[in-house]
Structure 1
């Protein structure tokens, strides 16, 4: 046997082995990358970019903190925890955490126990 025949047989054996075990070759992976690139280009062509002027903006939801600030702001003399809870529907833990943070950053002032007003 010549060395070229032996190398051809060896390459054939390896290709058959990879094919039977369903192991992708370097060429297979390169083809998959090309196909993915084409798919991504098609997706970007079909969807409008974020920089277009005709983009419709959906209204943003208010944060829980801004909702609570608005409620406390509607009561200049101060409002209590029950009123805030009834107006928002938030659970106690969420309300307490938000009120604590607002008091810590000096957005609201604690008038007395459970009563808060805007600074």
Structure 2
């Protein structure tokens, strides 16, 4: 048996195992991230209908992403993760996810590891 045949069989076995155990692949997770990014962009867009609804209601709370973005924006030279966490009170995982998404939609810039600046 040639090495390429063995590797093809091994890859097929792994794919079959992932499918049977319902384990998401890296591609599945990447597709989910793309869909989340599109949803966030739709939320941030200003639609005339959404502005009319907000005027008739009581003021709504700011989203977690907008809170983090405003805190980062208050530090024009950039701020670190610890400062953002102290200001928001969010747990590490939630804050990392928010920062990751804000970076993906180009709202913030990573200056270095753990240092962020609003674009």
Query: When the two structures are superposed, what TM-score results if normalisation uses the length of structure 2?
Result: 0.53
Q: Deviations over 1:2-59 (max 9, x none)?
A: xxxxxxxxxxxxxxxxxxxxxxxxxxxxxxxxxxxxxxxxxxxxxxxxxxxxx96211
Query: How far does residue 96 in structure 1 lie from its aligned partner after superposition?
Result: 0.2
Partner of 2:81 in structure 1? 81
User: Aligned equivalents of 2:56 and 2:109: distance in 1?
Assistant: 39
Determine which structure has more spread, i.e. the larger CA radius of gyration. Answer: 1
Query: How far does residue 110 in structure 1 lie from its aligned partner after superposition?
Result: 0.1
Partner of 1:48 in structure 2? none
Structure holding more helix per residue? 2
Partner of 1:71 in structure 2? 71
* Larger RCO, structures 1/2 (Cα 8 Å, 6+ apart): 2
Give the aligned length: 65
- Runs of at least 4 residues off by over 6 Å: none
Stretches of structure 1 lacking an aligned partner (at least 5 in a row)? 1-54
